Structure 1
Amino acid sequence: MNSTELPDLKLLQLFDLLYDVRSVTRVAEQLGQSQPTISIWLGRLREHLKDPLFIRTPGGMAPTPQADALIGPCREILESLRRFAAWEIAFDPATAKRRFRICMSDASHITLLPRMLAHVRAQAPGVRLEATRIDGNTERALESGEADLVIGHVPWLGGGIYQQQLYTQDWVCLANRRHPRLGAKLGLKHYRTEGHVAITAGTGAQLLEQALVREHIDRDVVLELPGFLGLGAIIKSTDLIATLPRHIGETLAKVNDLAVHPCPVPVDGFAVRQHWHARYHHEAGNRWLRGLMVQLFGASD
C-alpha cells in the first residue's frame, strides 16, 4: 500500500476493534471474517503505518505507543463516517427560519394561499412564504433552487421534475344572482347570447378556447381581464357571465354571493399538481412543504 493511499474502512474497523478486545480471534468473530483474513488485514495496516501496532503478550495483543496515539483519530474518522452515512439535514417546522418560494397562478393566490398561510403560521412561525408567477423561467428556477414548488396545471415542465396530483378541476360559470334573464339553469342558448368576461391568462385558458372553437361558439366578450383580480365584483355588479375553473369559481362566488352554474359547454378538465426538481426530492424542508400541500389540498380533501 502506498504511503499516500488512504487505508480501507475495514482496516480502520479492525484497528478500532482490536484495540478494545486485544484478540485476533475475537475480532475475526465479530467482523464475520476468518482469522487468516484478519491477520492479512493487520499486516496491511502495519505496513501502511510502518509500525507493528499490536504486540502479542500473555495478556493478549498489546498496543504499541503508536497505536495508543492513533486510536483517537481512528475513532473520530469512524464516527464521522457514521454521521455521514446517516446524514439528513433536519427540518423542524416549529424552529425553522427559512423562506419557501412557490410559483403559482393568481387564481391560487385566492384559492390556496390563504389556507396555506394560516397553516404555515400555526406550524412554522419562522417560515416565510413568497408567491411568484409561473413563466418561462419556472423550470430553471426549480432546478437552481430559486423556487421550491410549482403548483398548478403546468404540462410543459420538462425532465427532472417530479409531480404529484392534488385535485382535479372542471368548469363552471358565474353570474349575478339577480341576473335579469337567467333562471336556475344556464343553458347553451343564453351562454351564446349573454355578454361575457373573458380571462385571457392562466394555464386553463387554452382549454376553454379550444372547447369554444370545437363547439363553434363565438362568445360576446364585453371585457377581457388578464387574471381574476376584480372579477367577483364585476360579475356582482353587472349582467355578465364568466367561465372559469371550479375551485376559483366557487371561491369567488362565496365571497361575492354569486350564482354558480354548470358550464353548458363541454370543456376538458385538468389536474392541479405540485411540481419539484429531482435535486430537492429528498431535502427535508421541501418534503415538509410538499406534505403540507397534500394535507391541505389532496384529493381526499
Structure 2
Amino acid sequence: MKHRDLSETNLLEPRLLRLFDALFTTGSVTKAAEKLGQSQPTISIWLGRLRQELDDPLFIRSAEGMLPTPRAEALIGPARQALEMLRRLAELRTDFDPASAKRRFTICMTDGSHVTLLPSILAHVRRVAPGVRIEATQIGADTPRMLQSGEADLALGYISDLDAGHFQQALFPQDWVCLANAKHARIRDRITARDFRREAHVLIRSGTGHQLLADALKQQQIVLDVALELPGFLGLPAIVGTTDLIATLPRHIGETLAHYYGLRVLDCPLAIAGFTVKQYWHARFHHDPASQWLRGVCAELFQQQDVRGLHRSGRARKRRPRNLQPSRA
C-alpha cells in the first residue's frame, strides 16, 4: 500500500504536527498532553486523526512507552521542518515603530474634517512619527472600495451604507448648532423656531449634514429663505461673519469655526437627526500593525471626548478604544 506523505494531505493542521513531535519526543500520551496543555481524551482524538491522515499507526504501545513506527521515523524530519517554518512565519510579523517609520497614510474624510480632525491628527503625527506623511482625500461612494484595495488606510466621518468586510469604531456623537454673526442685529444668545424660519440662511451642500438637514426640513415642511448655497465650508466663516445669514451645521465643525472666527454658536431649534462620527477600515488590514497604530491615534484623539476641546490640542489622550465592531452591510 502506498502511503501519502506530508505534502499529499490538506488536513494536517499545525496542532497535529505538534502532537506528532510531542509524542515522538516524549513517547507518552500523558506527557504529550501535558506539553500541549490538552486533556488525554483530546490527545487520543487528535492521534486518531493523525493516524487516519497518514495511513499508519505511527506509535505502538510497549513497555518502554509509545514507540514510533518506521513511517513515523521517516516523517519526523519533514514534520519538524514544517513546524520550524511555521515558527519563522509567526516571527515575520513586524511591529510598527512610528518614530522610525517612513510611509504615507491616506485618510478619507469630509472637507469639514479637514478643519476639525485633520489638524489634531497632523500635530500628533508630526510629534511622534516625523517620517509619516498624511494624504487627505474626499470621503464618498468610492470609499469602501478604496479601503478594501488599500488605496485608503482609513475613513473618518459617517457612512450610512457600508459593504460587508469592513470594521467601524464610534468616535463621538454629533448634534446640530446654528452659526450667526457675533454682532447680529436680531439674534443674541438663542435662536427660536420663529427666528429660524424668519432669518435668511446659507446652506452647505456637502458632507453628512447636507442630507440630514434636507430630510428634516422636508419632514417638518419648512421652507427656508436660502440666500446662498456653498459647496463646502471654505468661505462660510467670512460669509457668516460679514452678513446676517444663519448657517446650520453639525456641532463639531460649527464650534470649531466659531472658535477661530469669532462667530456665535446657538443651539439649533430645528429637530434634526443626530449621527455618530466613526472611523472605518477593511478587514484585510484589521491586524496590520501600521493600520492599528493609525486607528489607535484617532481613537485616542477623538473617541467619546468633548468635541468642543478638540481644536485646542493635538495631543493624544491615553484611552482604550471602545465600540469596536464589524459593520453590518
Range into which the TM-score falls when normalised by the shorter chain: 0.7 to 0.9
Aligned to 2:51: none
* 1:155 CA displacement: 0.7
CA distance in structure 1 between the partners assigned to 2:7 and 2:158 by the alignment: 53
Superposed CA offset, 1:142-162 (max 9, x none):
111111111111112221111
SS in 2 for 1:203: helix
1:96·1:126 contact (CA, 8 Å) conserved in 2? yes
Please, which moves more after superposition, 128-137 or 163-172? Answer: 128-137
Aligned to 1:44: 71
Instruction: Tell me by how many angstroms 1:92 deviates.
Output: 1.3
Q: Cα 1:166–1:3, aligned 2, differ >3 Å: closer, same or farther? A: closer
- How far is 1:77 from its partner? 4.8
Q: Are 1:149 and 1:275, in contact at CA under 8 Å, matched by a contact in 2?
A: yes
How many Å apart are 1:283 and its aligned residue? 1.2
Q: Label 1:197 to 1:27 Cα distance change in 2 as closer, same or farther (>3 A).
A: same
Q: Which protein is bigger by CA-based radius of gyration? A: 1
1:81-118 CA-to-partner distances (Å, cap 9, x unmatched) read 21324553321111111211110000000000000001
Kept after mapping to 2: 8 A contact 1:169/1:272: yes
Q: Quick one: distance in 1 between partners of 2:148 and 2:84?
A: 33
Query: Of residues 129, 147, 163 in structure 1, which corresponds to 2:152?
Result: 147
Alpha carbons of structure 1 residues 36 and 217: separation in structure 2 relative to 1, 3 Å:
same
Q: Distance in 1 between matches of 2:18 and 2:213?
A: 65
Q: Which amino acid aligns with 1:177?
A: A
Alignment pair present for 1:133 and 2:138: yes
CA shift, 1:31, in A, is 3.3
Contact 1:196 1:223 in 2 (8 A): yes
* Unaligned 5+ runs, structure 2: 34-42, 45-58, 307-329
Shift of 1:216: 2.0
Q: How large is the Cα RMSD of the aligned pairs?
A: 2.7
Distance in 2, matches of 1:4 and 1:268, equals 60
Using a 3 Å threshold, how does the CA distance of structure 1 residues 44 and 222 change in structure 2: closer, same or farther?
same
Q: Deviations over 1:6-49 (max 9, x none)?
A: 7973598369x76xxxxxxx543753589736755442144569
Residue 204 of structure 1 corresponds to 209
Q: Which amino acid aligns with 1:44?
A: R
Question: Secondary structure of the residue that 2:170 maps to in structure 1?
Answer: strand
Match among 169, 174, 181 for residue 164 of structure 1 = 169
In the alignment, the residues of structure 2 paired with residue 11 and residue 106 of structure 1 have an alpha-carbon distance, to the nearest angstrom, of: 57
Matches within 5 A, 1:179-258: 179-258=184-263
Q: Which residue of 1 aligns with 2:323?
A: none
Contact 2:203/2:247, CA 8 A, preserved across alignment:
yes
Percent same amino acid at aligned positions? 49
TM-score (norm 1): 0.81
Partners of 2:90 and 2:279 lie apart in 1 by 30
Unaligned runs of 5+ in 1: 19-25, 50-69
Question: Post-superposition, which runs of at least 4 consecutive aligned residues in structure 1 deviate over 2 A?
Answer: 1-15, 26-42, 45-49, 73-80, 83-89
Q: Which residue is 2:322 aligned to?
A: none
Cα deviation digits, residues 249-273 of structure 1 (max 9, x gap):
0000011100001111111111111
CA 192–4 in structure 1, closer or farther in 2 if over 3 Å, else same: closer
Work out whether residues 173 and 275 of structure 2, in 8 Å CA contact, stay in contact via their aligned partners in 1: yes
Aligned to 1:267: 272
1:14–1:42 CA contact under 8 A, matched in 2: no
Change (3 A) 1:39 1:235: same
Using the size of structure 2 for normalisation, the TM-score is 0.74
Distance 1:138 1:44 in 2: 55
Q: Distance in 2 between matches of 1:223 and 1:234?
A: 9
Q: Tell me the distance in 2 between the aligned counterparts of 1:86 and 1:202.
A: 43
CA distance in 1, matches of 2:220, 2:205: 19
**Distance of aligned partners of 1:80 and 1:246 in 2 relative to their CA distance in 1, 3 Å threshold:** same
**Aligned pair in 2 of structure 1 residues 47, 285: CA closer, same or farther (>3 Å)?**
closer
Asked if 2 retains the 8 angstrom alpha-carbon contact of 1:94 and 1:125, the reply is yes
Offset of 1:178 from its aligned partner? 0.6
Structure 1, 245-254 or 187-196: larger mean CA deviation: 187-196
When residues 83 and 200 of structure 1 are mapped into structure 2, their CA distance, relative to the original with a 3 A threshold, is same
**1:13-32 → structure 2 map (5 Å cutoff):** 13=21, 26-28=26-28, 30-32=31-33
